[in-house]
Amino acid sequence: RKDSGMLSYKEHLPVSQVVVGDLDRPGSEAKVSVGPVRCQGDRNYWNAASFVTSSSYLHFSTFQGETSADISFYFKTSASDGVFLENLGNTDFIKLELKSATEVSFSFDVGNGPVEIVVRSPNPLNDDQWHRVNAERNVKQASLQVDQLPLEVRKAPTEGHTRLELYSQLYVGAAGGQRGFLGCIRSLRMNGVTLDLEERAKVTPGVKPGCSGHCTSYGMYCANGGKCVEKYNGYSCDCSRTAYDGPFCIKDVGAFFEEGMWLRYNFHSPGTSVKDLVSRTLLSSADAEITAPDLSLNKEELSFSFSTTKSPCVLFYVSSYTPDFMAVLVNPTGNLQIRYNLGGTKEPYNIDIDHRNMANGQPHTVNVTRNGRDIVLQLDHYPPTSYSLPATSDIQFNSPKALFLGKVIEIGKIDQDIYKYNTPGFTGCLSRVQFNQIAPLKAALRPTNASSHVHIQGELVESNCGASPLTIPPMSAATDPWHLDSGKVAFIADFPYNGQAIGDGVNRNSAIIGGVIAVVIFTILCTLVFLIRYMFRHKGTYHTNEAKGAESAESADAAIMNNDPNFTETIDESKKEWLI
């Protein structure tokens, strides 16, 4: 009859949906209430550090746990192994590590030989979620527990050493060349004392205080609604709820539609009811209100890009289990038309954009946002335009059924104009189509959980031909170095060859040309000098100390004696040296 619970981790917020089943019986109802948000507990509970490389570590004073050790902490990681902490003695040691994706090890030696206790988890522990480790050791036994898994206990021997004698510093992370822990550790308590990981991490390279920070600095690079996801050595962008792809959610996902092709996206999975609350969450925008017993939308957000040369055609259509519908069309003259029928009026409400031909083969971007009675339309890079539904019109889109791209294939009555525009169908490109949080083209071209909702007629070929090219906004007059004020523009128009008016530009161009000529001349001179030195390096005279008459002498010694009259040394025959 009643369920209640506490949300204890801030990572579990925000609550995006509450699913309640078994509501189809008569008299069955559900009520959800949320109590007050309270912050309480140990301020060191979230004292954390991020180890961004496998060689990162923090060091603290030697752990004093001779006869008893009580160690507890939380960790989260996406790595498969790594050392949490270690402290060494001459032969004694104590160590905690993640041995594999499913194993945590507690090992120590008090002089009786190494002892290891291993807890094996049925589920991976490297799932980037918090897990608690509690290790204890005393003179009687040692134990290890991970989360709520069964406690592993090892009895101590009845005889032998009992004191754990350590002398090195306590290392949290990598130690002794081992692969260190890669991830986050928080609330590290050793014998009742919480180690200040954050303060030590501030002055330690390779370790960062807390378990976040990259998204704070770089999250803005996740574009188009992409969600920034923290990593331990960076960040990534989650594009799953966008119509884009790529590392930063900026790559268009689009396709080429041949004549007669169409795509249908069912808002509810086959075999489920439209009352399924899960499908409601998919269809609803981030803050949409669900006020009817079945699904009703008070607001929609639609954005896409397209290009085509044929008209008329149906670009986008949302059907329902009621006469309600929404459509984006290209009429026979090539103009864009937005059509809403939410009930309460005799005819659908039309928004005609007749100032430009949209069937010109160029990419065009369409953004439509409705909130209650207010509609805002932005086409390409024109300023947004506001419209309002008639006062008699309903403001709820009742029971949406399916979304169509390229052509409408629906059972039941269809608006007459849409029926005419439906033949032969859309030919061209559609890109980055997104309706609230649904991206039908991406669901069709990328394997996702929503792919089962998609049905395609024809061969859908991925292409970015419908994507609008990247446009760079014009520079402001204050930052544009080539900007001329109105007075100068008029002056140049009257006297186009006046030297004073164009002197700045001429001087600037002359300086550039002169600089280029100087560089060319300097290069030529350097080349000539190099060639001249190379050609004449073997020519010219040089002086040596070689004795005169060396050419006719029998040996070098004879030449020296013949040339130098002061050389009176006689050679004793007995002192001759012979080389044998």
- Give pLDDT tens digits for 406-425: 988 887 778 877 888 888 88
Range with the lowest mean pLDDT among 190-194, 387-391, 474-478? 474-478
Q: Which residues contact 277 (CB under 8 A, 6 or more apart)?
A: 17, 19, 20
* pLDDT tier for residue 280 given thresholds of 50, 70 and 90: very low
Judge whether residue 122 has pLDDT over 90: yes
Query: Can you tell me the mean pLDDT for 481-486?
Result: 47
Of residues 503 and 196, the one with the higher pLDDT is 196
Q: Classify 45-209 by CATH class.
A: mainly beta
- Report residue 15's pLDDT band, with 50, 70 and 90 as the boundaries: confident
Determine the pLDDT at residue 21.
76
Task: Give the residue-averaged pLDDT of 373-380.
Answer: 92
The CATH classification number of 253-269+295-462 equals 2.60.120.200
Tokens of 572: 């004793």
Q: Domain limits of the chain? A: 45-209, 213-241, 253-269+295-462
Q: What pLDDT, in 10s, does the model give residues 37-53?
A: 777 666 677 788 988 88
Distance CA 432, CA 427 (A): 17
pLDDT of the residue at 545: 53
Instruction: Round to whole Å and give the CA distance between 84 and 114.
Output: 18
Q: Looking at the predicted structure, is the pLDDT value of residue 171 above 80?
A: yes
Higher confidence at residue 211 or residue 559? 211
Contact of 375 with 351, CB cutoff 8 Å: yes
Split at pLDDT 50, 70, 90, the class of 293 is: very low
The reply to whether 253-269+295-462 shares the fold of 45-209 is yes
- pLDDT reported for residue 195: 92
The three-class DSSP label of residue 509 is helix
Sign of the dihedral through C-alpha 185, 189, 190, 194:
positive
As a whole number, the mean pLDDT across the chain is 79
pLDDT (average), residues 461-485: 57
Q: What is the mean pLDDT of residues 143-152?
A: 94
Buried b / exposed e along 52-64 (16+ C-beta atoms within 10 A): bebebbbebeebe
pLDDT band at 561 (very low <50, low <70, confident <90, very high): low
Per-residue pLDDT at 173 exceeds 60: yes
Tell me if the bond preceding 247 is cis, omega within 30° of 0: no
Would you place residue 228 in the very low, low, confident or very high pLDDT band (cuts 50, 70, 90)? confident
Name the residue with higher pLDDT: 386 or 1. 386
143-157, 301-315, 422-436, 507-521: least confident range? 507-521
H helix and E strand count, the chain: 8, 34
- Mean pLDDT is lowest, of 131-135, 179-183, 208-212, 323-327, for 208-212
Of 104-108, 466-470, 493-497, least confident by mean pLDDT is 493-497
pLDDT per residue as tens digits for the range 531-542? 887 776 655 554
**499 pLDDT more than 60:** no
Residue 273 has pLDDT above 50, yes or no: no
Total residues found in the chain within this entry: 580
User: In the predicted model, is pLDDT for residue 328 greater than 60?
Assistant: yes
Burial track 440-479 (b if 16+ CB lie within 10 A, e otherwise): bbbbbbeeeebeebbebeeebeeebbbbbeeeeeeeeeee
Least confident of 65-74, 94-103, 526-535: 526-535
Question: Does residue 467 carry a pLDDT above 60?
Answer: yes
Confidence of residue 158 (pLDDT cuts 50, 70, 90): confident
Cβ-contact 149, 119 below 8 angstroms: yes
Task: Using the predicted structure, report yes or no on whether residue 565 has a pLDDT greater than 70.
Answer: no
Which whole number is the average pLDDT over 474-500? 43
The percentage of residues in the chain with a pLDDT greater than 70, rounded to a whole number, is 77
User: What pLDDT, on a 0 to 100 scale, did the predictor assign at position 551?
Assistant: 53
Is pLDDT above 90 for 133? yes
SS3 content of the chain, % helix, strand, coil (to 5): 15, 30, 50
Close Cβ partners of 98 (under 8 Å, ≥ 6 residues apart): 75, 77, 79, 80, 81, 82, 83, 84, 104, 105, 125, 126, 181
Least trusted range by pLDDT, from 117-126, 224-233, 258-267, 366-375 = 224-233
